[in-house]
């Protein structure tokens, strides 16, 4: 099983059902004396309104997995979800509890793994997710649950997909809403603007410009 490729699938056609022929008579004819060339068996078996038999439903592609046990107790499971011969899912169990501690996925089915989920403390819950949103092979966002409560509280993102992070969000009180947002509009690698939710009501109420050149309120 490989880890990249271009899936394709063939299609099948069924021959159309041949409708019964009709005679030269117009109208319905006599219900008592049918035409001599129309057999009784035809009346019983032929239905001019019968629909073509439905095509058989396409079977779902087979899902196959390859399990590899490495020295030290690490187990790898590579799964081909669409039957094209390439793995769309890689899972690693590093502590032998039969739960995936690291999971790589090909979410857009382009043959490249673009999402990583990690259980850093091996408690059975994912606490970090890395994603390549544009398929260029570079991570565009990292979402982390630092206090292991199941809710993300830190996000680092590359909003313009140029390969460098430019947005940092932190939920300091762990209520599920960001309290601090830093942005780097000029892409120099340093945060230029700081947005704060000082009263933790979910609404930004303070903006600090750390770069005077982008502060619209600064007068020379």
Residues near 49 by beta carbon (within 8 Å), at least 6 away in sequence: none
- Residue 93 to residue 99: CA distance in whole angstroms: 6
| pTM score, whole prediction | 0.65
Neighbour count for residue 172 (Cβ, 10 Å): 13
Q: What angle do CA 32, 34, 37 make, to 5 degrees?
A: 160
Inter-residue contact 143 to 154 (CB < 8 Å): yes
Q: What angle do CA 163, 167, 172 make, to 5 degrees?
A: 140
The rounded mean pLDDT for the chain is 78
Average pLDDT over residues 4-18: 41
Inter-residue contact 179 to 200 (CB < 8 Å): yes
Query: Could you say which DSSP state residue 159 is in?
Result: T
**pLDDT per position as a tens digit, 77-116:** 999 988 888 899 999 999 999 999 999 999 988 888 899 9
Query: Could you say which DSSP state residue 126 is in?
Result: -
Q: What is the DSSP string of 39-61?
A: -HHHHHH--TTPPPPPPPPPPPP
Residues near 124 by beta carbon (within 8 Å), at least 6 away in sequence: 97, 99
What is the band of 49 on the pLDDT scale with cuts at 50, 70, 90?
low
Residues near 163 by beta carbon (within 8 Å), at least 6 away in sequence: 136, 138
pLDDT confidence of residue 145: 95
Helix or strand (DSSP H, E) at 198: none
Average pLDDT over residues 111-136: 91
Neighbour count for residue 105 (Cβ, 10 Å): 18
């Amino acid at each position: 099983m490989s880890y990249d490729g271009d899936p394709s699938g063939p299609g099948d056609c069924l021959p159309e059902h041949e409708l019964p022929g009709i005679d030269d008579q117009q109208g319905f004819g006599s219900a008592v004396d049918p035409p001599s060339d129309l057999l009784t068996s035809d009346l019983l078996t032929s239905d001019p309104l019968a629909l073509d038999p439905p095509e058989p439903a396409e079977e779902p592609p087979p899902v196959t997995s390859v399990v590899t046990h490495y020295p030290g107790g690490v187990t790898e499971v590579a799964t081909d979800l669409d039957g094209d011969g390439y793995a769309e899912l890689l899972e690693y169990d590093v502590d032998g509890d039969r739960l995936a501690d690291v999971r790589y996925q090909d979410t857009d089915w382009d043959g490249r793994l673009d999402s990583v989920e990690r259980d850093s403390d091996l408690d059975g819950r994912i606490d970090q997710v890395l994603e390549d949103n544009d398929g260029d092979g570079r991570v565009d966002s990292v979402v982390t649950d630092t206090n292991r409560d199941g809710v993300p509280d830190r996000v680092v993102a590359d909003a313009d997909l140029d390969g460098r992070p430019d947005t940092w969000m932190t939920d300091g009180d762990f209520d599920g809403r960001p309290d601090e947002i830093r942005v780097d509009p000029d892409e120099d690698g340093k945060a230029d603007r700081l947005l704060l939710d000082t009263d933790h009501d979910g609404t930004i109420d303070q903006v600090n410009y750390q770069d005077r050149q982008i502060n619209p309120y600064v007068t020379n």
